[in-house]
Amino acid sequence: MYGTEAPMISLYMLIFLLLQLSFRMPLVISYNPVDKLAVSCGYSGNANQRGRNWVGDIDSKLFSTIEPQNVQPSIIKALTTPPSVDVVPYDSARIFRSQFTYSFPLKSGGPKFLRLHFYPTTYDNFEIYNSLFSVTADNFTLLKDFNASLWLRDGEDTVSKEYLINVEAGQRLNLTFVPSTKQHQDAYAFINGIEVVSMPPFLYYSDPNSTDQSDNGIHLVGYAYSSPYQLELSRALETLYRVNVGGRPIPPEQDTGMFRNWESDDDRYLVTHRPRSQSAGFGLHVNLKNNTIPDYTAPEELYLTSRSYGMNATENYNVTWLFDVDSKFTYMVRLHFCEFEPEVQNLGDRIFQIFIAETMAEDKADVIEWSTGNLIPVHRDYAVFMSDQRENSNKVTLSIKLQRLPIQRAKTNYYNVILNGVEIFKISDESQNLAGSNPDPMPPQPKPFYQSSNKSSKKTIIVAFLTVVVSSLLLASVIGLILFRRKRSSSCRKGSTKKEGASSSLPSHLCRYFTIAEIRAATNNFDDVFIVGVGGFGNVYKGYIDDGATPVAIKRLKPGSQQGINEFLNEIDMLSQLRHLHLVSLIGYCNDGVEMILVYDFMQRGTLREYLYGSDNNPLPWKQRLEILLGAARGLHYLHAGAKHNIIHRDVKSTNILLDEKWVAKVSDFGLSKVGPTGMSTTHVSTFVKGSLGYLDPEYYKRQRLTLKSDVYSFGVVLLEVLCARPPLIRNVDKHKASLVDWVRKLNDQGKLDQTVDIFLKGSITPECLKWYGQLAMSCLHDDGNQRPSMNDVVGALEFAMQLAEGDKDKSFGGAQDKEKGEESPLIPQFTSDEGSDVLFTSDESGTKDSRVTTISGSSEERAMISGLVFSEIGDPRAR
Ligand SMILES: *[C@@H]1O[C@H](CO)[C@@H](O)[C@H](O)[C@H]1NC(C)=O
Ligand SMILES: *[C@@H]1O[C@H](CO)[C@@H](O)[C@H](O)[C@H]1NC(C)=O
Ligand SMILES: *[C@@H]1O[C@H](CO)[C@@H](O)[C@H](O)[C@H]1NC(C)=O
Ligand SMILES: *[C@@H]1O[C@H](CO)[C@@H](O)[C@H](O)[C@H]1NC(C)=O
Ligand SMILES: *[C@@H]1O[C@H](CO)[C@@H](O)[C@H](O)[C@H]1NC(C)=O
Ligand SMILES: *[C@@H]1O[C@H](CO)[C@@H](O)[C@H](O)[C@H]1NC(C)=O
Ligand SMILES: *[C@@H]1O[C@H](CO)[C@@H](O)[C@H](O)[C@H]1NC(C)=O
């Protein structure tokens, strides 16, 4: 197996076996709602979407509809082209030109989730810009003169609204749509989907009978000594934000049973400092036995990820999340906490401060005090009234800030902060209203621009206009790109596990997307113990995904510059389209902040080099070596000619040829050379050159051009490595032995190739096979790239070598078998015909003729110079 790494692996296996059963959180549906109606509007019959049954609203027996007589009836519309989002419930709609009521009978009394789903698009002759309407539920105004298009958020095509409304037992829930014909003559209303789902009575509302007057109520922010705010059932709420801090989005079907949707806080809400996202270690579970909260409060996963600034921060900071809300409403803010870091066990371990809407909400927040212990989840609720921060402004910003405890304030063992989740609800006002104004027709802007625009001048209007134009163009092109990409079939081995429409612009539909939390869980937070390789682009970890079922190699690229991210995504786009038996498969990727991570199939037996030298693995027999080389050659040939692109690997070497448990060779690291060095950091250069110097095509730095034949040269070096079982370059040895290529070439010219052969192979290679193999290697190493064979030729020559190895030279030579792109001849002419003519180069001890020898064995300055040349070459995109 891994030779020296074996003890490490077995230790890992032990830990893994111990934790395997409890490794991933199973989906716990801890609440089963009595009412769970999902209605697909403008649809007849039943439809299944992500395991949920949606009933059509046409002729359904489950509820009734009320249309006033003698007015224009509602219209059913099905989209003729598939929506860019989930088909159910978005491919059909009901359109109202006058008042229309859905009346839902309910099985139980109590608070309900009421969810409205809109897909603002043009439905035949109903142009979306004419839709304008109000919605009421019982006596509450939910939406007023609602223009759904204005509520679309960046990169999303649908608008969903969630309300909480109490319905007395035996009462119906009446949901009424009214087109705003007074405001707009052609106004119409529309709806695609409606959900009515029960919830536990006191999940969010206050229990009036509660005897617990201590700390568990809703704290009025800014009124430290006031009694708790009572959230009464007579209020309706609108859910504005529900966020899994530091973790992935949690889709409705993975909620605790109420189909709530949890977003990720990335980018959208977290504005300063971008603290680390943390996740609990392998196999940890929250402790619900202490009854701090009921098990259905939030998915367990929410409590096992968090953001934390780092233990013992010395600078002052405010980790800040910003949420846009309507002014002149009271909001309930629920903060979820769970201390899972092993350091934080006792009272006073981590004390910090919480500000909500710039007002101190907690001056000594100690999660352990609230929860009574590590891994015990807890939440704290706050009520805050948002006045208008600026004159005549309907939209204001509700901030949540976590500040390190000021030194003089109190004693804490760790100057750090933590937050696991946030929910924000708008509370209906005295006139039973929840509706705010439509957002301005301007996409959300970076905050600085926002702040400078409190006095509206002509200039800002122009800027705003330009911004709208530019952003709409950008948005249009992004949407176009997304639509275009959706059409292409996903070629990644595993399907996307990410929800469509989730908050990410990354190409998750091309390839599986992993959250940083999943990657951290798979590698125990990048524990060094799991490192199986260190490459020029960063470390490679072994990890397990899919509940520990699948071993993977996780390549974590060293954080580079911002511009590296586009390269990275392009690379994934390309790599995910390459599938070949002899290429290592890309399973997925993760991109979170500065993290750029690729996830590959794990190769059990490691690299080819580990079976040649430098390890105590048993040497491989000759035939097996040929088989491995043949596989690798086929993989490279696919890269060169088989795929749509002509991809130059750029870094062919014995450590980039990996072996699976059946000894099948897989080429790895292809395409990535483009990603790594864009950061232009010196570490990339030196590591890259150090790892690959002995393999470099001399034309590479002479003509500064990289071609497919550069890979052939490098493969030639690998052929010699396999034959001779030694590295391409050895320092501090006899000068004419330092370079593998020159050493073998010289002896081959003298007819003494057999003196270079690996001592373990002595006598096991037939002379014909050795001769043929030597010719193949030398032709690959030809100084003139045009004279080298193509990879297709190499495949053919290796197949023939296999036959010669069996001493079966009568078999006719067949040529390459996988000629996807059919290159002409299996062998280049001079290779088959004239034995000597391809070896043009003769070693010259003086070194004057051979720039390669002098530079490689030359001074470190000279080597640095080559590195510079090589590096500028790599920086050049896709040189052919
Ligand atoms: C709704 O908003 C869109 C986008 O700004 C606008 O084009 C449309 O005219 C608006 N519709 C109405 C009825 O105001
Ligand atoms: C809902 O509408 C029905 C029929 O108009 C009416 O009888 C019922 O009182 C309404 N319920 C509520 C809570 O308004
Ligand atoms: C709605 O308002 C009407 C009149 O204002 C009142 O009679 C009725 O009880 C209210 N219904 C609810 C559910 O509050
Ligand atoms: C509160 O207690 C009273 C009297 O015990 C009971 O009638 C009422 O139903 C309780 N309310 C709730 C919301 O449980
Ligand atoms: C943090 O500070 C405490 C007290 O100064 C110290 O005991 C602890 O080792 C520090 N931890 C880290 C991770 O630096
Ligand atoms: C954090 O924000 C609060 C509220 O705005 C403010 O009082 C405090 O000074 C800020 N702290 C830092 C370090 O910026
Ligand atoms: C549960 O609570 C009890 C008392 O409230 C406490 O003694 C115990 O340590 C708690 N359990 C855990 C695991 O913290």
pLDDT in tens, 47-83: 888 778 999 999 888 888 888 877 788 888 887 777 7
Phi, psi of 101 (to 5 degrees): -125, 130
Could you give the CA distance from residue 184 to residue 187 in angstroms, rounded to a whole number?
A: 5
DSSP state of 148: G
Nearest to 42 by CA among 72, 87, 98, 85: 87
CATH code of the domain in which 289 resides? 2.60.120
Say if 537 falls within a structural domain: yes
> Amino acid identity of 80?
T
* 736 and 864 fall within a common domain: yes
What ligand has the least distance to the C-alpha of 169?
Answer: 2
Q: Is the CB of 296 under 6 A from ligand 6?
A: no
**The pLDDT of residue 482 is above 60:** no
42, 356, 726 from 262: Cα distances, Å: 27, 21, 55
**Is the per-residue pLDDT at 376 higher than 70?**
yes
Least confident of 92-96, 178-182, 205-209, 254-258: 205-209
Higher pLDDT, 837 or 603: 603
* C-alpha span between 815 and 833 (Å, rounded): 16
Rounded CA separation 206/559 (Å): 47
Query: What integer pLDDT is reported at residue 571 of this predicted model?
Result: 67
497 and 565 in a single domain? The answer is yes
Q: Which is nearest to 548 in space by CA: 513, 584, 523?
A: 523
Spatial distance between the Cα atoms of 572 and 582, rounded to a whole number of angstroms: 18
The answer as to whether 633 is a domain residue is no
Give the ligand 5 atom nearest the CA of 312: 1
Containing 302, the helix (H) or strand (E) segment is helix 300-303
- Asked if 136 and 62 touch (Cβ cutoff 8 Å), the reply is no
Q: Does any ligand 1 atom lie closer than 6 A to the CB of residue 186?
A: no
Q: Is 614 exposed, middle or buried (0-12, 13-18, 19+ CB in 10 A)?
A: middle
Domain end call among 427, 457, 475: 427
- Distance between CA atoms of 634 and 642, rounded to whole angstroms? 9
Residue 751: give its domain's CATH number.
1.10.510.10
Q: What share of the chain is helix, strand, coil (3-state, %, to 5)?
A: 30, 25, 45
Is the residue at 442 inside a domain?
A: no
More confident residue, 822 or 775: 775
Task: Note whether 274 and 382 are same-domain residues.
Answer: yes
Mean pLDDT of 588-606: 84
Nearest to 740 by CA among 750, 752, 727, 723: 727
In contact, 76 and 58? CB cutoff 8 Å: yes
Q: Which residues line ligand 5 (CB under 6 A)?
A: 311-312, 413-414
305-308: strand order across its sheet: 276-279, 305-308, 418-419
Question: Could you tell me the CATH number of the domain that includes residue 67?
Answer: 2.60.120.430
Q: Is the pLDDT of residue 425 over 50?
A: yes
| pLDDT for res 485 | 35
Q: Which protein residue's CA is at the shortest distance from atom 6 of ligand 4? A: 209
Q: Using CA atoms, how far apart are residues 178 and 98, in angstroms rounded to an integer?
A: 6
Residue closest to 325 by CA, chosen among 430, 207, 238: 238
**155/476 Cα distance (integer angstroms):** 10
Lowest-confidence region among 16-30, 313-327, 753-767: 16-30
**Ligand 3 mean position, distance from CA 139 (Å):** 6
Per-residue pLDDT tens digits for 2-12? 333 444 444 44
Q: Is 567 within a domain?
A: yes
Within 10 A of 644 (CB to CB), how many other CB atoms are there? 8
Q: Is the pLDDT at 572 greater than 90, yes or no?
A: no
Task: Give the pLDDT of residue 212.
Answer: 63
Q: Which of 101, 106, 139, 140 to mutate to test ligand 3, by most ligand atoms within 8 A of the CB atom? A: 139
Residue nearest to atom 3 of ligand 6 (CA): 358
| Phi, psi dihedrals of residue 54, rounded to the nearest 5° | -110, 130
Band of pLDDT at residue 671, cut at 50, 70 and 90: low
Task: State residue 389's pLDDT score.
Answer: 65
Distance (Å) from CA 208 to ligand 4 centroid: 8
> Is 272 touching ligand 7 by the criterion CB < 6 Å?
no
What is the edge-to-edge ordering of all strands in the sheet holding 352-356? Answer: 318-326, 395-404, 352-356, 359-365
Q: Give the count of alpha carbons within 13 A of 176, CB side only.
A: 16
Report yes or no: 700 and 706 within 8 Å, Cβ to Cβ: yes
Span from the CA of 370 to the centroid of ligand 7 (angstroms): 12
User: Is the confidence at residue 446, as pLDDT, over 50?
Assistant: no
376 in the same domain as 260: yes
Does any ligand 1 atom lie closer than 6 A to the CB of residue 149?
yes
Per-residue model confidence (pLDDT) at position 672: 55
Q: What tokens were used for 319? A: 């980790």
Helix ranges restricted to H, 388-453: 447-451
Measured from the CB, is residue 101 less than 6 Å from ligand 7? no
CA dist., res. 175 & res. 117, Å (int)? 13
Ligand 2 atom nearest the C-alpha of 173 is 13
Distance, in Å, from the CA atom of 667 to the CA atom of 628, rounded to the nearest integer, reads: 10
Q: State how far the Cα of 695 lies from the Cα of 11, in Å rounded to an integer.
A: 35
Mean pLDDT value across residues 453-477: 41
Q: What is the mean pLDDT of residues 782-798?
A: 90
The atom of ligand 4 lying closest to the CA of 208 is 13
Q: Which of 836, 770, 855 is nearest to 804 (CA)?
A: 770
Q: Whose atoms come closest to the Cα of 105: which ligand?
A: 2
378-386 and 218-220 strand pairing: parallel
Would you call 661 exposed, middle or buried from its count of C-beta atoms within 10 A (0-12, 13-18, 19+)? exposed
Structure tokens at 853: 């020898």
Residue 433 lies in a domain: no
Cβ distance 544 to 551 under 8 Å? Answer: yes
Q: What is the mean pLDDT of residues 789-797?
A: 91
Length of the chain: 880
Distance spanning both ends of the chain, measured CA to CA: 38
What average pLDDT does the structure give for the chain? 76
Q: Which of 546, 575, 601 is the last residue of a domain?
A: 601
Distance of CA 294 from the midpoint of ligand 7 (Å):
16
- Within this chain, do residues 860 and 777 fall inside the same structural domain, yes or no? yes
What local confidence, expressed as pLDDT, does residue 822 receive? 35
**Which of 324, 135, 139, 147 lies closest to 236 in space, CA to CA?**
139
List, for residues 239-271, the tens digit of each pLDDT value: 999 999 988 889 898 899 999 999 988 768 887
Q: Could you report the per-residue pLDDT of 501-536, keeping only the tens digit for each? A: 332 333 334 567 888 888 888 888 888 888 887 766
- Looking at the CA of residue 139, tell me the nearest atom of ligand 2: 14
Q: Give the pLDDT confidence score for residue 336 in this predicted structure.
A: 97
Task: Quote the CA–CA distance of 112 and 174 in Å, as a whole number.
Answer: 12
Number of structural domains the chain divides into: 4
Tell me the CA–centroid distance for residue 147 and ligand 1, in Å.
Answer: 6
Query: Do residues 602 and 546 make contact, with C-beta atoms less than 8 angstroms apart?
Result: no
User: Parallel, antiparallel, or unpaired: how do β-strands 512-513 and 586-592 relate?
Assistant: parallel
Question: Ligand 2 site: residues with CB under 6 angstroms?
Answer: 66, 103, 138, 171-172, 174
Q: What is the pLDDT of residue 642?
A: 66
Q: Residues 188, 229: one domain?
A: no
State which ligand 4 atom lies nearest to the alpha carbon of 201. Answer: 13
From the number of C-beta atoms within 10 Å of its C-beta (0-12, 13-18, 19+), residue 634 rates as buried
Q: Given the CA of residue 360, which atom of ligand 6 is nearest to it? A: 4
Average pLDDT over residues 753-760: 91
3-class SS at 739? strand
Q: What is the secondary structure of 665-691 as a DSSP string?
A: EEE-STTGGGTGGGG--HHHHHHHHHH
- CATH for 527: 3.30.200.20
Ligand 7 contact, 373 CB (< 6 A): yes
Say whether pLDDT at 823 is over 60: no
| CA of 199 relative to ligand 4 center, distance in Å | 18
Nearest alpha-carbon partner for 739 in 632, 857, 593, 825 = 857
Q: Name 553's bridge partners.
A: 542, 600
User: Is residue 70 domain-resident?
Assistant: yes
For 693, the token pair is 């110097």
Q: How far is CA 112 from CA 128, 776, 777, 817, in A?
A: 30, 75, 74, 65
Whether residues 255 and 384 share a domain: the answer is yes
Residue 564 placed within a domain: yes
Average pLDDT over residues 570-586: 78
Give the whole-angstrom CA distance, residue 106 versus residue 195: 12
Indicate the pairing of strand 263-264 with strand 237-244. Answer: parallel
Looking at the CA of 233, name the nearest ligand. Answer: 4
- Which range marks the domain in which residue 239 is found? 217-427
Same domain, 170 and 308: no
Pocket of ligand 3 (CB under 6 A): 138-139
Query: Ligand 7 centroid to 646 CA: how many Å?
Result: 63
810 included as an active-site residue: no
Tens-digit pLDDT profile for residues 712-739: 999 999 999 999 999 998 877 777 888 8
Query: Is the Cβ atom of 287 under 6 angstroms away from ligand 7?
Result: yes
Residue of 340, 372, 378 best suited for mutating to test ligand 7, as the one with most atoms within 8 Å of CB: 372
Q: Is residue 506 part of a domain?
A: yes
Span from the CA of 25 to the centroid of ligand 7 (angstroms): 23
Q: How far is the CA of 690 from the centre of ligand 5 (A)?
A: 38
The pLDDT score that the predictor gives to residue 361 is: 94
Cβ of residue 209 lying under 6 Å from some atom of ligand 4: yes
Ligand 1 geometric centre to CA of 396 (Å): 22
Task: Identify the residue whose C-alpha is closest to ligand 6 atom 5.
Answer: 358
Do both 718 and 768 map to the same domain? yes
Query: 380 has which bridge partners?
Result: 335
**Which range, 140-154, 566-580, 841-855, is most confident?**
140-154
Contact 150, 103 (CB under 8 A): no
| Residue 453 confidence (pLDDT) | 31
Region 481-487 average pLDDT: 37
Pocket probe mutation, ligand 2, options 101, 102, 103, max atoms within 8 Å of Cβ: 103
For 793, phi then psi, to 5°, come to -60, -40
Is 282 or 793 the better-scoring residue by pLDDT? 793
3-state DSSP assignment of residue 194? strand
Residues 6+ apart with CB under 8 A from 683: 558
Q: What is the pLDDT of residue 794?
A: 94
In angstroms, what is the span from residue 332 Cα to ligand 6's centroid? Answer: 22
pLDDT (average), residues 281-308: 87
Report the distance separating Cα 174 and Cα 65, nearest Å.
9
CA distance 134 to 749: 89
Assess whether 246 and 172 both reside in one domain: no
Query: Does residue 128 have its Cβ closer than 6 Å to ligand 1?
Result: no
**Closest ligand 4 atom number to CA of residue 233:** 13
Average pLDDT of the segment spanning 273-298: 80
Q: Which of 726, 666, 727, 665 is nearest to 691 (CA)?
A: 727
Nearest protein CA to atom 10 of ligand 1, as residue: 129
**Which candidate in 651, 669, 758, 838 is catalytic?**
651
DSSP letter (8 states) at residue 271:
-
What digits encode the pLDDT tens for the residues 201-210? 999 999 887 7
Alpha carbon nearest to ligand 7 atom 13, residue: 373
Question: Which of 385, 411, 427 represents a domain boundary (last residue)?
Answer: 427
User: What residue owns the CA closest to ligand 4's atom 3?
Assistant: 209
Rg (CA), the chain: 33
Is the pLDDT reported for residue 877 higher than 70? Answer: no
Phi, psi at 330, each rounded to 5°: -95, 140
φ and ψ at residue 778, rounded to 5 degrees: -65, -35
- Which ligand 1 atom sits nearest the alpha carbon of residue 180? 13
Q: Do 108 and 165 reside in the same domain of the chain?
A: yes
The verdict on 179 and 230 lying in the same domain is no
